[in-house]
């Protein structure tokens, strides 16, 4: 492997849009509500790699800014679906809700909840659905921004 490629992460990963930004209000709009991303063609993502290599893994990040009451938290669950045709979904992976943010004293918190996904046996198309859940009964809010990085290509880039 070329030493330059080993030290250039941009040469061995590919970014994709997981979906649109969303918001949630505790006990209201967007809370405990699934946000469905669009279908992503893994073959198109791998087009810059020798022989059309498919990405074999992904890092899904849910960046957030949340205003939380003291002792309250923001959790997120992740559903990954795959499809041979980009229209017929099949559950590929379901990750139960996990706390991605909390505030002992209350206030605004920012960060990223990370999910690692192995895609080795996934079909050509994948989509990501996340479900934010604020455990307060009111007032708490969150703005969520999904991010997606593909990696694990079995061939080095051609360019």
* pLDDT tens profile 73-87: 999 999 999 999 999
Residue 5 lies in a domain: no
Residue 159 lies in a domain: no
Decide if pLDDT at 50 tops 90: no
CA distance 83 to 14: 20
CA distance 100 to 109: 10
Q: Are strands 125-134 and 72-83 parallel, antiparallel or unpaired?
A: antiparallel
CA distance 89 to 125: 9
Residue 60 lies in a domain: yes
The answer to whether 105 and 14 have CB atoms below 8 angstroms apart is no
User: Nearest CA to 106 among 145, 133, 65, 140?
Assistant: 140
Whether the model pTM is above 0.85:
yes
Residue 7 lies in a domain: no
Residue 6 lies in a domain: no
Confidence tier at 72 by pLDDT (50, 70, 90): very high
CA dihedral 156, 4, 119, 36 (to 10 degrees): -110
Structural domain count, the chain: 1
Decide if pLDDT at 90 tops 80: yes
3-class DSSP assignment, residue 45 = helix
Residue 94 lies in a domain: yes
CATH code for the domain in which residue 100 is found: 2.60.120
For residue 34, the enclosing domain spans 14-151
Residue 9 lies in a domain: no
Query: What pLDDT is stored for residue 47 in this prediction?
Result: 81
Residue 1 lies in a domain: no
Decide if pLDDT at 37 tops 90: yes
Rounded average pLDDT over 10-34: 93
């Amino acid at each position: 492997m070329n030493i330059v490629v080993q030290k250039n992460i941009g040469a061995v990963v590919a970014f994709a849009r997981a979906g649109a930004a969303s918001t949630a209000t505790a006990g209201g709009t967007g809370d405990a509500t699934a946000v469905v991303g669009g279908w992503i063609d893994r073959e198109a993502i791998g087009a810059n790699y020798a022989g059309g290599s498919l990405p074999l893994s992904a890092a899904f990040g849910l960046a957030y800014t949340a205003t939380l009451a003291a002792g309250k938290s923001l959790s997120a669950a992740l559903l990954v679906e795959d499809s041979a045709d980009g229209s017929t979904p099949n559950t590929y992976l379901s990750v139960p809700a996990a706390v991605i943010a909390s505030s002992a004293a209350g206030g605004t918190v920012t960060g990223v909840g990370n999910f690692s996904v192995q895609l080795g046996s996934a079909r050509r198309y994948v989509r990501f659905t996340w479900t934010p859940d604020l455990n307060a009964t009111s007032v708490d809010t969150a703005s969520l921004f999904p991010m997606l990085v593909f990696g694990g290509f079995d061939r080095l880039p051609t360019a």
